[in-house]
Structure 1
C-alpha cells in the first residue's frame, strides 16, 4: 500500500475541482476507512461516483490535524486546519472517478454565513426542559423547533414533514411508503429576525417532546449564543458581550464534534474529574458514563430508582438513578444532583457523561462558538426542584 502525503494546506480558493491535476488514489472496493485525527473508523465511508464532490466533513476542532482515507489498496493523507478543504479523486475499479473532498467542520471565513446577525429570539422552556423557538417555513408553515446543542444542522420529524410541510416530493403512487431521502429544500426558514435560504432539511424519528424538529449547535458556528432563562430569550451575538459580570468562564472542547466541558463530582472528600457532553436535548439533569461512575465509586451510593432511556435512534438503555452529593461545573457547586448511571458502555462509543437541561437551565449561558468557551451565571431557576425529585 502506498501513501500519498499532501503537505500543502488547502487554499481557500480551491473549493472546486477546476485545478489541472488532482491527486488520485485507487480502489477496488467502495468501502473506505478513515483515520480522523488519530481516531480510526473502519469501513465508515462509501464511494459514490455519482456525487461530485462527495464531501467528508472532518470532526470539528480548531487544531491542525491529519485525516487519512484508506481504500482496500491505497491511501491518502491530508493535513486539515480550520477553514480548509482538499480535493482528490478515488479511481474505482480503474474506471469510475469518485471526486472526493475532505473539509474542515469549520467553514472558511469567506463561506461563513453573513446573514446571521445580532438577533433576540423569544423561547419557551417546556415542561420537558426543552428550549422551544417558533419557526416559519416557506412563509406559511409554523413549526416548533428545539435548540439542541447536542445535535447538528436542521432536522424535522417525519410526522411534521408529512403533516405540516410540503418538503416531501409528490409520489406517483399516493399509497406508497413516503420516501424521506429526497426532500425538497426549504426556500426559506425564519426564526426571529434570522432567515436561511435554500436550506437542506434532514428527517428524524426522534426529537424532544412536543417538538416538530431541532436546530443543532453548528447552525451558529463562529457566533456567540446567549440563553437567558430569566427573560426566556435566546440572543445571537456576532461579538462576545462586554458585560460578563457574574459569569464564570471555562473552555469547551470537541470530542467527535460533540461539545464537552470538564466537570467533577466529589464523594467522600475525593474529587473525580471527567468529560461531560453538553446535552440540553435531555430533560434530565445528568447521565453518567459507567466507567466514570466506577472510577468515582458512585456505584456505592443508594439507588433511588431504575429507569429506561431512549437515544435518538430509539434504542433502549437501562439505568439506575442516584444523587451525586456534590457536582462542580465552571466553579459552581451543586448539591444532591440526581443522575442516571449507565450500566453499559456509553452510546457515543467513547467515555463521556452528559449534562442535561434539568441542570443547565439553572444557569444563564453564553456559548462562544468563535473562541470555544462557555460562560455560566446562576439564574432564578437555581433552587427549583429537579424533575427526578418532583
Structure 2
C-alpha cells in the first residue's frame, strides 16, 4: 500500500508541476454582467477599466482625461453599435497591469454618460498573450503566447474568426424548427445577451418569425440611444452546448457595427459570462467551458 501511495503522490506532483504558471493574474469584479479591472495608466494607479473583447482599441472616458493628466493630441474614428463618429485621441501612453506593461498605447477619448469607469481595456492590450477569463475565481490570467502547458482540460476548442479585427465564432439558433447559422461577435463589453445584426434580421424576416416579449433601450459608444425589440429564442447552440428560451435583441440599425452584413449578431457578457474562456489570438483559437454562472438569470 505504501508503494501505491508514493506512486500516486508522484503522479499528482508531476501533474501540478506540468501546469503552466501565468505571467500575470488580474482580479476582476463582475458588475451588471460586465468585467471591470484596475490598471495603471502612465503614473496613475487604480484606474478602473471595462474589459471589452468587442473593442479593438482602448478608450479613456472623457470624464477621466483631466484626472489622468492625459494630453489630447489627435483624432480617431469611433465605430459604435449604432453609428460612427469622430473623437479626440491621446497618443503614446503606458498601461501596466500586473507584471505586464504596454507602451505607446493610443486612447480614443469617448464621452460616456457615466463616471462608473475610467476607460476600456480593448483587444490591443490583450494581444501578445494568451488570455484566460475565469468567472469561478474572478480572475483574468495572461500567459505567454504558444505556452504549451496551459491547462485546456474540459474546454471546447473553436476556431476564432477575426472579422475586421472583431473576434467571432460560429454559432446557430433554432426558431420554428429552422436553424439559422453564422458568425457571431464576442462582446464582453456589452451587458446584454445577444443582439442580431439588422441585415441578418431583415434577410431572415426574424421580426415576423420570433415572438416579441418586450423592448429595451441601448446606448452605443457613439453616443446614440436607440430601442430594440426583445424576442424569445427557443434554442441557441454555442460551443457544442445548447441553451434554451433566451431573450434576444433584434437590431434595426442602418449604421455602425450592428448594421454589418459580415456577422449574424453579437453575444454580450450576460451570455458570455456563463463560459470560462481562453483566447489564443496568435493561433486564432478560442476555448470555452461552462462555469457556475450557467443557471443565473438572463437580465
Query: What is the alpha-carbon distance in structure 2 between the residues aligned to residue 208 and residue 361 of structure 1?
Result: 23
1:167 matched to 2:79? The reply is no
* Greater C-alpha radius of gyration: 1
How far apart in 1 are the matches of 2:212 and 2:267? 19
Distance in 2, Cα, partners of 1:289 & 1:199: 30
Q: Quick check: 1:290–1:346 contact (8 Å CA) kept in 2?
A: no
Contact kept? 1:289, 1:346, Cα under 8 Å: no
- How far, CA to CA, are the matches of 2:91 and 2:54 in structure 1? 25
Taking a change above 3 Å as real, the CA distance of residues 287 and 144 of structure 1, as seen in their structure-2 partners, is same
Pair 1:130 & 2:34 matched: yes
The aligned runs of 1:339-378 (5 Å cut-off) are 339-345=248-254, 347-348=256-257, 349-351=259-261, 352=263, 353-378=265-290
Of 112, 120, 144 in structure 1, the residue corresponding to residue 25 of structure 2 is 120
Post-superposition offset of 1:314: 1.0
C-alpha distance in 1, partners of 2:128/2:91? 27
Corresponding position: 1:315 with 2:224? yes
Q: Which runs of 5+ in 1 are unaligned?
A: 1-116, 170-179
Structure 1 CA distance for aligned equivalents of residues 246 and 204 of structure 2: 15
For the residue of structure 2 that corresponds to 1:249, the secondary structure is strand
Tell which deviates more after alignment, 133-142 or 220-229.
Answer: 133-142
CA apart distance, 1:372: 0.5
Report the Cα distance in structure 2 between the residues aligned to 1:384 and 1:324, rounded to whole angstroms.
17
Does residue 324 (structure 1) correspond to residue 233 (structure 2)? The answer is: yes
Q: Deviations over 1:281-325 (max 9, x none)?
A: 110010012332345553222211122222210123321001111
**Greater CA drift, 132-141 or 219-228:** 132-141
Per-residue CA distance 1:18-44 (angstroms, 9 max, x = gap): xxxxxxxxxxxxxxxxxxxxxxxxxxx
Contact 1:155 1:204 (8 Å CA) reproduced: yes
Residues 160 and 169 in structure 2, CA contact (< 8 A), matched pair in contact too: yes
SS at match of 1:146: strand
Kindly provide the CA deviation profile for residues 76-103 of structure 1, in whole angstroms up to 9, marking residues without a partner as x.
xxxxxxxxxxxxxxxxxxxxxxxxxxxx
- Determine if the alignment matches structure 1 residue 293 to structure 2 residue 201: yes
Answer yes or no: is 1:230 the counterpart of 2:142.
Answer: no
SS of equivalent residue, structure 1 residue 219: helix
**In the aligned structure 1, how far is the partner of 2:212 from the partner of 2:45?**
46
User: Contact 1:365 / 1:375 at 8 angstroms: preserved in 2?
Assistant: yes
Deviations 1:226-266 (A, max 9, x none): 00000001011112554322211111112221111111001
Q: Is this contact kept in 1: 2:89–2:106, CA < 8 A?
A: no
Cα pair 1:207 1:213 within 8 Å, conserved: no
Where does residue 58 of structure 2 map in the other structure?
Answer: 154
CA contact (8 A) 2:132 2:276 kept: yes
Question: Residue 197 of structure 2 contacts residue 260 of structure 2 at CA under 8 Å; is this kept in 1?
Answer: no
Does residue 201 (structure 1) correspond to residue 113 (structure 2)? The answer is: no
Counterpart in the other structure of 1:53: none
Q: CA deviation at 1:362?
A: 0.2
Superposed, which structure 2 residues align to 1:64-83 within 5 Å?
none
Alpha-carbon distance in structure 2 between the residues aligned to 1:208 and 1:222: 31
The residue aligned with 2:48 is 144
Task: From the superposition, tell whether residues 277 and 198 of structure 1 become closer, same or farther in structure 2 (CA, over 3 Å).
Answer: closer
Matches within 5 A, 1:51-70: none
Residue matched to 1:8 = none
- Return the structure number with greater relative CO, CA threshold 8 A, min gap 6: 2
1:191 is aligned to 2:97: yes
Alignment size in residue pairs: 259
Cross-structure match for 2:76: none
